[in-house]
Chain A
Amino acid sequence: MLAENELLQHPGFTSAAELTALPALRVVQPDGQANEELLSRVSDEELIAMYQQMLRVRLFDRKCIALQRQGKMGTYAPFEGQEAAQVASAVCLANKDWMFPTYRDHAAAMTRGLPMQTVYRYWMGQMDGFSVPDELNILPPCVPIATHLLHGVGAAWAARLRDEDTVSFCYFGDGATSEGDFHEALNFAGVFHLPVVFFCQNNGFAISVPFARQSASPTIAKRASAYGMDGIRVDGNDAVAVYLACQTAIHKARNGGGPTLIEAVTQRFGAHTTADDPTRYRDQAAMNEEWRRERDAVQRLRLLLTSKGLWDDNREEQWIAKVGNELVNAWEEAVAKPFSEPIEMFDHVYSKMPAHLEEQKKLLAGGGLA
């Protein structure tokens, strides 16, 4: 076992002490004890629904890693450790709102209703894995880092011009805050007082580079003041704190109160992607059970629910069994659908296929080289 002071010497590890030292909104403590006054703003049903969804996406995440290892899916970006940040934020959005996720935010997208089968197909590399149900405004996951923050601002500008009360909600990580587009997006949203919520999941690492290398400031939330907007730092492993912060920011944005920058301090338990080996840059073994107990959002919410008599082993077992069936059924549906054919490569480059693409498509269809 590592002593606490030893643990602190590992780069990038955020200690609970540090989290308390920098002010952060926290409602539920790691042992499940809650600030009852704040907790009373959330209904029991909402708490249970969030917990169920957090457990559901965690099981999905683990299933995806297994499927990737079996060669059934492509490279996958796991989110385990960030369930509270993603689920408790996404539940706050109305259907008409706009969501701008990254490649690690499929827990948030699934919470809003993106079918599990679609997410499987996305990571299988099937072309229709990008398809979002018509009634949901979820953009395809952003991979280039921070570019989508400006799209969120643009969608908010369109809402402003049409006098609609929809909100843009942008997901990004701590690495994205070093990009120029982060600055341009927050500045633009600040100047025009637009209905955007910038939701940063600070998980401490951009692949291998620790947060201290992204920012000389120990907090991202603090940067909000430079853009004339409100900022809040929350314990990203506390679903209730995330929920309250997001709900308030979205309500404010919807009612003309302008943008908010939320920093949800969290961590990813696993690798950056299945192609990454985190032992090369951090001590994974130090992230043991005890370390996790402080941080595991799923466990924390379960302790709270159990202490309130809202959850028990029996319900847990039943829920896991139910999700287990869903994981299998959705996978079976995902592989039962036809896989993308090479010929589909030429579709959707332009609204109308130009002559040179028609020609390449024809050549490929005829057995030749495109």
Chain B
Amino acid sequence: MAVKQFIEAIHDALQEEMSRDERVFVLGEDVGLRGGVFRVTAGLIEQFGEQRVLDTPLAESAIVGVSIGAAANGLRPVAEIQFADFIMPAVNQILSEAARIRYRSNGDWDCPIVIRAPFGGGVHGALYHSQSVEALFTHTPGLKVVIPSTPSDAKGLLISAIRDPDPVLFFEHKRLYRLVKEEVPEEAYTTPIGKAAVRREGDDITVISYGLALHFALQAAEQLAAEGISAHVLDLRTLRPLDEEAILEAASRTGKVLIVHEDNKVCGVGAEVSALIAEHCLFELDAPIARLCGPEVPAMPFNGNLEREYMLSPAKIADAMRKLAKF
């Protein structure tokens, strides 16, 4: 197995699925000659031609709407929204159309599209290149929302998403693109959507997270192990549908739960995870459920000091974990 970066794993998944299935094509802004602004689609236009690696007009609703129509006519579009911040013009297409075409046609039509978008901050992206938008979509039945945190999951989950008969939003934390590397199988494989993964076994406290924050949580857990606190870390991987069984199991295991995400707290994914735990295993708990999330401000500031303060870090998470362990 070769060691791959997160971004390479995503690129490989696209390349392999496009080779395997001629119905698969990518479309978006700058995905062709430019190879994407992060270069996720680098080299695809040379291999598959400009019709299957389609540089579209700068129009996000069109990128998603055209994907929906192409899927109705038998293709498997993988749409790229250049930054998750810019998905807003396409929200009507995603919520009102993609999420309910199967439902409102009584199963006659489906919508096998994937919408990929880099999200998250910590890269000096300022107000409009840093946001976490997942909570907008996790509320909507009919959608699947996936956020991988490791290269092997990124590849396996993207292949699953492309083969999935339902619309999947696939958010890639842009800070992970070149930060995380690991051995990734060469061949195509699928990682199931809807299944969380235990990243670290522990007995004192449980940390539930996803994306970049998951890595910070693992680093914090390592620090705390040296202090004698054993942390159990669950990577959600899919935010809709949530892996309820895994969440409840992880919560019950230690009775102390910290939910961590970069997105702000109010009505974020942590709210739902916390409600699930409260509904199903309140009496297994030994401490109030804790959440560590982004601040309640509209966007990530451009100013470096403010951005640093906005972002989560292993130190911040370690503090929250210590506090919970002591409770």
Interface residues of A (CB under 8 A from B): 98, 127-128, 130-132, 137, 139-140, 144, 147-162, 168, 180-181, 184-185, 187-188, 191, 347-351, 354-356
Contacts and interface: CB of A to CB of B under 8 A. Distances in A.
B194 interface: yes
A149 B59 CA distance: 14
Contacts of B194: 354
3 cross-chain pairs, A with B, having the tightest CB-CB distances, nearest first:
A154-B69, A150-B65, A151-B69
A98 B73 CA distance: 9
Contacts of B165: 351
Contacts of A137: 73
B106 A131 contact: yes
B199 interface: no
A137 B102 CA distance: 15
Given A144-B97, A150-B93, A356-B241, 15 more contacts: A98-B73, A150-B61, A150-B66, A150-B68, A151-B69, A151-B72, A154-B67, A154-B77, A158-B74, A161-B52, A181-B61, A181-B65, A184-B59, A184-B65, A350-B142
Contacts of A158: 69-70, 72-75
A108 B164 CA distance: 33
Contacts of A139: 72, 105, 109
> What is the interface of chain A mostly: helix, strand, loop, or mixed?
helix
Nearest to A187: B57
A131 B142 contact: no
B56 interface: yes
A13 B104 CA distance: 36
A355 B57 CA distance: 39
Interface of B: 25, 51-52, 54, 56-57, 59, 61-62, 64-75, 77, 89, 92-93, 96-97, 101-110, 141-142, 144, 164-166, 194, 241, 244-245
A76 B93 CA distance: 24
B106 A184 contact: no
Given A150-B68, A154-B66, A161-B75, A128 B59 contact: no
A187 to B, nearest CB: 6
B110 A127 contact: no
A348 B73 CA distance: 19
A351 B51 contact: no
Nearest to B245: A355
A129 to B, nearest CB: 8
A132 to B, nearest CB: 6
Given A188-B59, A349-B142, A350-B142, A157 B104 contact: no
B195 to A, nearest CB: 11
B106 A128 contact: yes
Given A151-B72, A154-B65, A154-B68, A130 B96 contact: no
B73 A155 contact: yes
B66 A153 contact: yes
B102 A349 contact: yes
A162 B25 CA distance: 12
Nearest to A183: B59
A139 B74 CA distance: 13
Nearest to B164: A351
A349 B96 contact: no
A142 to B, nearest CB: 8
A188 B56 contact: yes
Contacts of A132: 105, 108
B69 A349 contact: no
B65 A147 contact: yes
B61 A140 contact: no
A350 B72 contact: no
A112 B234 CA distance: 53
B106 A188 contact: no
13 contacts: A128-B106, A144-B97, A150-B66, A155-B69, A155-B72, A155-B73, A160-B51, A185-B65, A347-B106, A348-B105, A348-B107, A349-B141, A355-B244
Contacts of B109: 139-140
A147 B62 CA distance: 9
Contact of B62 (A127, A155, A156, A187): A187
Contacts of B25: 161
B96 to A, nearest CB: 5
Contacts of B68: 150-151, 154
B245 to A, nearest CB: 8
B112 to A, nearest CB: 9
Contact of A147 (B97, B164, B166): B97
- Of the candidates A140, A154, A156, A181, the one having the most CB atoms from chain B within 10 angstroms of its own CB is A154
B108 A130 contact: yes
B102 A185 contact: no
A214 to B, nearest CB: 19
A130 B68 CA distance: 18
B255 to A, nearest CB: 24
B102 A140 contact: no
A351 B65 contact: no
A31 B75 CA distance: 49
Contacts of B106: 127-128, 130-131, 347-348
